[in-house]
Chain A
Amino acid sequence: MIGSIAWKNVWRNKKRSLVVIVAVTLGIIAGVLLIGIMEGWTKQRLHNAVNNEVSHIQIHNNEYIKNEEINLTVRNTDEIIRGLDSLREISGWVKRTKIIAMANTAWANTGVIIYGVDAEKEKRVTEIYKEIVPEGGRYLDNQSPGDILISDKTAELLKLKQYIVSDSTMEELRKEKVPGTVLIKLEALKDKRFRSPKDFREALQQEFNRKELDRYGLLITEKALDYRIRSKVQITISDKEGTPIQGIFRVCGIYKTTNSGFDQTTVFVKDKELANLYGGDEILTHEISILLNDIDDAGIVREKLSRISGDNSVMTWKELAPDAAMMNDFMILYYFIFIGIIMLALAFGIINTMLMAILERTKELGMLMAIGMNHKRIFKMIMLETIFLTVVGAVAGILSGWAITEALGKTGIHFSSWGEGFEAIGFAARVYPVVTPGFFVFTTIMVIATAIISSIWPARKALKLNPVEALRTE
């Protein structure tokens, strides 16, 4: 019956209770969204780090870690490969040649790390082959000679990425139902070549107003983008003696991950063709990259591999991508920080509401004490009232937050203005919020804890009432 009274008391002053409930609901929605975005970023970063960049485990010559010289190759490679083939936890592995190089085109140059890989084996370990951009050519092909796979960012630096508003661009925009007024303005830029996104953006800003740019800017940029596939790229590396050697490759495809820092420095060619360039008798292995069936086995497999790898260095993804590992490990801390701050702010509102309710019901509380309701029951009634008030808002907030996150998880949120900045530090410009069931359990516990803590002050205030004095109040 005390629970029933507490529930009915919540609805005595509907407006006041609704204000608190709405505040809790909005607070929880904000929390769910914030955590959803953080979790989404973390998962995307972790996925990108593991599946595109460092895999689960890498083996290097331990000297190579400190000094990336061409001579410092992995020792006892054959023995290690035999070991890798015998371990059930391993899903795939690839040997790589990894050399610091200079890439040149007729228009620009940039420093890169060139990876020599077996195209088919690489596909079993990394997902770069899935990251080829639209109209961006194809992945490396063991049958096609002279291929080089570069990133969208490298293409930009080497001026292999250009923006041209051609007849076909206009046609595509027309199909996308871009209004005639916008297309007429776009005519002014027709057939002009822009070699950087910045130049193209500035040109668009001159032709269009802010509203038109917000609505159609991204679409026009996408459609006008043109990669100069099959362009020649000259790669310069130093051989074992330190003598510079040049080789020519042709761009077969353009990839783009969510980490522009990685993209900017990473190009792929076939290991045999790279070996031809440095003139070795054999393919040099600077890195063995290993993908496991289960990320949680990384520690165990590392131990096993350390035993057969001699004085090579065996590192897990946590050491190779410490930023992703830290984000993953600290997710529970983010939960505490975000939800904790929101709950702290809400607690003051809840306490204020409950104190007002106690003040208004002084006489009634005095009567209840007079007729024999003991302190334990008074405390329980006020605590339940606070919990009900908070939980109603929390349930509404969790359900709405979940629905919003689910919807945004499908479409993603594109941080267009800050996208470049996010990608520079390894976060996707388009984030797909994810909220795990664990977070909802965590939030529910935090909400109930907040309600219990918030009820202590009002309940103590009620318990301090003297029934005789309370009964005299009007």
Chain B
Amino acid sequence: MKIIELKNVNKVYNSTEVKVHAVNDVTLDFAEAEFAAIVGPSGSGKTTLLNMIGGLDMPTSGEIIIDGTNLSKLKSSQLIDFRLNNIGFVFQSYNLVPVLTAKENVEFIMTLQKWPEKEKDERTLELLKAVGLGDRINSRPTKLSGGQQQRVAVARALASRPKFVLADEPTANLDSKAATTLLEIMERLNHESKITFIFSTHDPRVVKMAHRVITLEDGKVVSDVKLE
């Protein structure tokens, strides 16, 4: 079942002198429970494409439809609520709230969704245990390693029970061991929860674990390979 559809998506940045075609006529779709990597050299349009799928940026032309909702038709405030309830984000530099503990960072998104206290607590603990941080729930981000912080970020991304998780270069700042642990956790959660994971990367370790690899060059999809 398709949960994300991109139809002839273009993104053109108008600088004063030259037009930059960051994403060029991309047509793609993603099904439920996919574990897909978008790869390509720097400047190939990976992050721009992820930002548009995540509703953070709008295409210059074309349509992005998430589970039947055309993102272009949503107002700014509707888009924020849509992101809250449908999309999980994992950022390259973790981006946790430094004044909150691991537990508070994870449950924050559920607070925004107005979950009941008890269910919120249960889900937070369940997720932190799932990412191997059951014993660090009260630690602030400054007391956690990079890998641990990124695992908290993954738990936060999954907290709202999103339809899919977008991860922009999630292993870029991690050492080899931490990157492998993170990917194994993400793959397991993808398998168990059937949540689609889409990540941009140029890390060969990530590419190796992906079930589908989409290659971008100059904003165009040059290959789309499903691996089993």
Could you list which residues of chain A lie within 8 angstroms of chain B, going by C-beta atoms?
1, 4-5, 8-9, 11-12, 363-364, 367-375, 377, 467-468, 471
| Complex contacts, B51 vs chain A, CB 8 Å | 468
CB of A367, distance to nearest CB on chain B (Å): 4
Which residues of chain B from 86 to 132 have a CB within 8 Å of any chain A CB?
A: 88-89, 91, 93, 95, 97-100, 104, 107-109, 111-112
Name the residue on A nearest B110 (C-beta): A1
Please judge, given known A-B contacts A364-B95, A468-B56, whether A373 and B100 are in contact too, CB under 8 Å: no
| Complex contacts, B111 vs chain A, CB 8 Å | 1
A12 to B141, CA, bound (A): 14
A11 to B100, CA, bound (A): 12
Q: How many residues of B contact A (CB 8 A)?
A: 27
Please judge, given known A-B contacts A364-B95, A373-B112, whether A1 and B56 are in contact too, CB under 8 Å: no
Q: Verify A8–B112 contact, CB threshold 8 A.
A: no
A468 to B49, CA, bound (A): 12
| Complex contacts, A9 vs chain B, CB 8 Å | 99
**B83 lies within 8 A of chain A by Cβ:** yes
The 5 closest A-B pairs by CB, nearest first: A372-B84, A8-B99, A367-B95, A1-B111, A374-B80
CB of A47, distance to nearest CB on chain B (Å): 53
**B77 lies within 8 A of chain A by Cβ:** yes
A368 to B112, CA, bound (A): 11
Q: Verify B89–A370 contact, CB threshold 8 A.
A: yes
Q: Verify B99–A5 contact, CB threshold 8 A.
A: yes
Q: Verify A372–B85 contact, CB threshold 8 A.
A: yes
Which residues of chain B from 36 to 70 have a CB within 8 Å of any chain A CB?
A: 51, 54, 56-57
A106 to B69, CA, bound (A): 107
A374 to B77, CA, bound (A): 7
A458 to B85, CA, bound (A): 28
| Complex contacts, B98 vs chain A, CB 8 Å | 12, 364
| Complex contacts, B104 vs chain A, CB 8 Å | 1, 4
Q: Verify B57–A468 contact, CB threshold 8 A.
A: yes
| Complex contacts, B83 vs chain A, CB 8 Å | 370-372
Q: Verify A364–B77 contact, CB threshold 8 A.
A: no
Please judge, given known A-B contacts A1-B108, A468-B56, whether A371 and B99 are in contact too, CB under 8 Å: no
A467 to B168, CA, bound (A): 14
Q: Verify A8–B81 contact, CB threshold 8 A.
A: no
| Complex contacts, B163 vs chain A, CB 8 Å | none
Could you list which residues of chain B lie within 8 angstroms of chain A, going by C-beta atoms?
51, 54, 56-57, 77, 80-81, 83-85, 88-89, 91, 93, 95, 97-100, 104, 107-109, 111-112, 156, 160
A28 to B65, CA, bound (A): 56
Q: Verify A12–B99 contact, CB threshold 8 A.
A: yes
| Complex contacts, A12 vs chain B, CB 8 Å | 98-99
CB of B80, distance to nearest CB on chain A (Å): 5
| Complex contacts, A11 vs chain B, CB 8 Å | 99
Q: Verify A377–B100 contact, CB threshold 8 A.
A: no
| Complex contacts, A471 vs chain B, CB 8 Å | 56, 91, 95
A12 to B112, CA, bound (A): 22
A1 to B114, CA, bound (A): 11
Name the residue on A nearest B99 (C-beta): A8
| Complex contacts, A374 vs chain B, CB 8 Å | 77, 80-81, 84
Q: Verify A375–B80 contact, CB threshold 8 A.
A: yes
Question: Which of B91, B99, B107, B160 is within 8 Å of A372, CB to CB?
Answer: B160
Question: Which of B54, B100, B156 is within 8 Å of A5, CB to CB?
Answer: B100
A-B contact pairs, 9 of them (CB 8 A): A5-B100, A5-B108, A368-B97, A370-B83, A371-B83, A371-B156, A372-B81, A372-B160, A374-B77
| Complex contacts, B160 vs chain A, CB 8 Å | 372
Q: Verify A370–B97 contact, CB threshold 8 A.
A: no
CB of B126, distance to nearest CB on chain A (Å): 19
Q: 17 new A-B pairs (CB below 8 Å) besides A372-B80, A375-B77?
A: A5-B100, A8-B100, A9-B99, A364-B95, A364-B97, A367-B95, A368-B97, A370-B56, A371-B84, A371-B109, A371-B156, A372-B84, A372-B109, A373-B80, A374-B80, A374-B81, A471-B91
CB of A203, distance to nearest CB on chain B (Å): 69
Please judge, given known A-B contacts A5-B99, A375-B77, whether A367 and B91 are in contact too, CB under 8 Å: yes
| Complex contacts, B54 vs chain A, CB 8 Å | 370
| Complex contacts, A468 vs chain B, CB 8 Å | 51, 56-57
| Complex contacts, B156 vs chain A, CB 8 Å | 371
Q: Verify B95–A363 contact, CB threshold 8 A.
A: yes
Question: Which of B91, B97, B107, B112 is within 8 Å of A377, CB to CB?
Answer: B112
A377 to B112, CA, bound (A): 9
Q: Verify A371–B81 contact, CB threshold 8 A.
A: no
Please judge, given known A-B contacts A1-B111, A471-B91, whether A369 and B99 are in contact too, CB under 8 Å: no
CB of B2, distance to nearest CB on chain A (Å): 23
CB of A363, distance to nearest CB on chain B (Å): 7
Name the residue on B nearest A7 (C-beta): B99
Name the residue on B nearest A9 (C-beta): B99
Q: Verify A369–B80 contact, CB threshold 8 A.
A: yes
Q: Verify A5–B109 contact, CB threshold 8 A.
A: no
Name the residue on B nearest A367 (C-beta): B95
A4 to B98, CA, bound (A): 13
Q: Verify A372–B112 contact, CB threshold 8 A.
A: yes
| Complex contacts, B100 vs chain A, CB 8 Å | 5, 8
| Complex contacts, A373 vs chain B, CB 8 Å | 80, 84, 112
Name the residue on B nearest A474 (C-beta): B93
A319 to B151, CA, bound (A): 78
Name the residue on A nearest B76 (C-beta): A375
CB of A9, distance to nearest CB on chain B (Å): 6
